[in-house]
Amino acid sequence: TSKEKPTLGGTRIKTRKRNIAAPLDPASFSDAVVQIYLDNDGDLELVAKSVESIDLDFSRYGDTFFEASCLNLWKYVVFIGVRTQPGTTKPDEGEHHPYSVLECEPKREVILPHVIYIQKVLRRRPFLIKSLENVMRRFLQSLELFEEDERKKLAIFTALAFSQKLSGLPPETVFQPLLKDNLVTKGLVLSFVTDFFKEYLIDNSLDDLISILKRGKVEDNLLNFLPPAKRSNEFFTEHFNKEGLSTLVEYNEKKMFEVKLKEMKSALTTQITEEADIADVIETVKQQIKDAKLPDIEVVRVLWDVLMDAVQWSGKNQQQNANSALRQVKTWAELLNTFCSNGNLELELMYKVQMQCYEDAKLMKLFPEIIRSLYDQDVLAEDTILHWFQKGSNTKGRQNFVKALEPLVKWLEEAEEEE
């Protein structure tokens, strides 16, 4: 017998006593939903109204509503608009409608109505949120089963879902499933996130994107999206610059830079705390500069921070603090001297000392003594001190520090005249 078309109220079974609605199986359920799309010519406004009023067991077949199992029973309704007979893997048999996300063009204006439609459905049936999550997770874990064009549509859909703040789609649902080794290795993940980033950044700021990536627990290492063979900052920069995402490149460079500085700081802290040989410490810094391509100016800042952090400060005794700081300067002068290799870097060191003395009350009065000690140890040249005195650009507490440095400057100028 030819199969009866399912009615929207479920299949009626005649029984002797009374008529009862039989529970629909997933196949009949998805046929019924496909039928709604066909009856309304894919007009999503009308489809939403029909879906709202139809008496189907959504709580039981929520996943079927968005798709069905990703294994061998493909019945994507909202996404693919088709269901196939059990045992087939190609989504081109079975009842079909041409109005799904993956049937339309890969353009935001065409895909956005689908996002808004799902939003409406979820408002009416919030319990379907979990189903949407399940389906998205399975789709993203199965990227290799889609054509390139379809993956692009999925990426645009996902980006718009976040832009529209589609209820209950947490970022970890999207980003964690993507990090499957085989998908990453094939480069499918890189192309998906590239489309996703481009689409999302049309409506949102980089900060919004970073916030999503943080919630998805992936912002710390964006390089994980790249195939292992291409996993380098150079490739990341080249790829995303080419795709017009230079703001993301800048963010990643800053992030990597912070990581490298942190690594350098921690390696130095260990050596200085353990009072390692100065020659070894210098070697460590040189190696870090080479590996991480750190700018000289950052190296000077880090060196000063690490040296001062390692000092055992006294809570009350100003004289003890002065002695400790000056002893540290004297002990590690050669280290500072090696990397303060020109006037600009010496000036940077002076600004660094100025800032620390300005921000730390116990060091406020130490400024002239530290500068004098750095001069005595040949870390700071006379010209640098005079330049800072006359034109130093950092304004933090400058007047006080200039006044405090007057005796040293006067002494330097007199010594120069005597020569």
Query: Structure pTM?
Result: 0.69
Residues whose CB is less than 8 angstroms from the CB of residue 109 and which lie 6 or more positions away in sequence, other chains included: none
| 3-state DSSP of the chain | CCCCCCCCCCCEECCCCCCEECCCCHHHHHHHHHHHHHHCCCCHHHHHHHHHHCCCCHHHHHHHHHCCCCCCCCCCCCCCCECCCCCCCCCCCCCECCCCHHHCCCCHHHHHHHHHHHHHHHHHCHHHHHHHHHHHHHHHHCHHHCCHHHHHHHHHHHHHHHHCCCCCCCHHHHHHHHCCHHHHHCCHHHHHHHHHHHHHHHHCCHHHHHHHHHHCCCCCCHHHHCCHHHCCHHHHHHHHHHCCCHHHHHHHHHHHHHHHHHHHHHHHHHHHHCCCCHHHHHHHHHHHHHHHCCCHHHHHHHHHHHHHHCCCCCCCCHHHHHHHHHHHHHHCHHHHHHHCCCHHHHHHHHHHHHHHHHHCHHHHHHHHHHHHHHHHCCCCCHHHHHHHHHHCCCCCCHHHHHHHHHHHHHHHHHHHHHC
Report whether 176 contacts 217 (CB < 8 A).
yes
Q: Which pLDDT score is estimated for 206?
A: 95
Residue 295: CB atoms within 10 A of its CB come to: 11
Fold that domain 254-417 belongs to in CATH: 1.25.40
Report whether 201 contacts 169 (CB < 8 A).
no
How far apart are the C-alpha atoms of 365 and 319, rounded to whole Å?
10
Run means of pLDDT, 10 residues per run, the chain, 419 residues: 49 44 66 80 84 79 61 41 41 59 86 89 86 85 88 92 81 86 94 96 94 89 93 94 96 89 91 90 90 88 93 79 89 93 94 92 86 94 93 83 92 79
Q: Which pLDDT score is estimated for 67?
A: 59
Q: Which pLDDT score is estimated for 95?
A: 52
Domains of the chain by residue range: 26-79+95-244, 254-417
Q: Which pLDDT score is estimated for 193?
A: 96
Q: Which pLDDT score is estimated for 64?
A: 76
Q: Which pLDDT score is estimated for 417?
A: 72
Q: Which residues pair with 231 in a beta bridge?
A: none
Q: Which pLDDT score is estimated for 78?
A: 54
